[in-house]
Amino acid sequence: MENCKSIGTPMAPGTIINTYPSGKTVDVRTYRGMIGYLTYLTSSRPDIMFSTCLCARYQADPKESHLATVKRIFRYQKGTADLGLWYPKDTGFDLTAYSDADHAGCMLDKKSTLGHIQFLGDKLVSWASKKQLCVSTSNAEAEYVAAASCCSQVLWMRAQLRDYGFKFDKISIYCDWKSAIAISANPVHTLKQSIFMSGIIL
């Protein structure tokens, strides 16, 4: 891949990855090695988190189409080798978080993929992208589950930061789905929804 042409995005817009049972199988060890490298790289490159985790789902029986998607991520890496995380020292230290989700994004089991990131001031310190454990029946439910996962990460971070003398009374978690925000704002409905979701996971 050293002489490959660089590209501006890790994944083409609207890309759908499936099992493709009729596709040509590629070497499993090579594919897993490439995924392992990219997974290690996500510790400092949140921009490839989603695409890498999406490709990692098909390590059991990778096809040529999966390998082409992984190679596109490598081409993106070549063109963006100078990108990195910036941590300015003279900015605020407020803990804020953002969550998002798609609905039934996986074509196999119709499960949604959630994503969330956490900032300390202007500094990005934590991020995640993973498939939800349950099947969401609506966009609002998928966004609510993503916000709940983000909230659990925020609570863990607040507990860790408290050991270093930082106390946060109010933490902002941003969600772009009004229905999920309304569910979260209703304490009675939120309790019922949490019990319902626990029943699905169990």
Q: What is the pLDDT of residues 127-157, one digit of tens each?
A: 999 999 989 999 999 999 999 999 999 999 9
First-to-final CA distance of the chain: 44
Q: How confident is the model at residue 106 (pLDDT cuts 50, 70, 90)?
A: confident
CA distance 97 to 102: 18
Domains of the chain: 1-84 (no CATH), 95-201 (3.30.420)
180-198 average pLDDT score: 64
List of residues 6+ apart from 168 with CB closer than 8 A: 94, 95, 158, 161
Q: Is the pLDDT of residue 56 over 70?
A: yes
Rg (CA), the chain: 19
Here the tokens at position 14 are: 């609207």
83-111 average pLDDT score: 89
The per-residue pLDDT for 194 is: 52
Q: Report helix, strand or coil for 64.
A: helix
Q: How confident is the model at residue 16 (pLDDT cuts 50, 70, 90)?
A: confident
Q: What are the start-end ranges of the H helices in the chain?
A: 28-41, 49-56, 64-79, 139-162, 178-185, 187-201
- 20 dihedral zone (left: phi>0; alpha: psi -120 to 50; beta): left
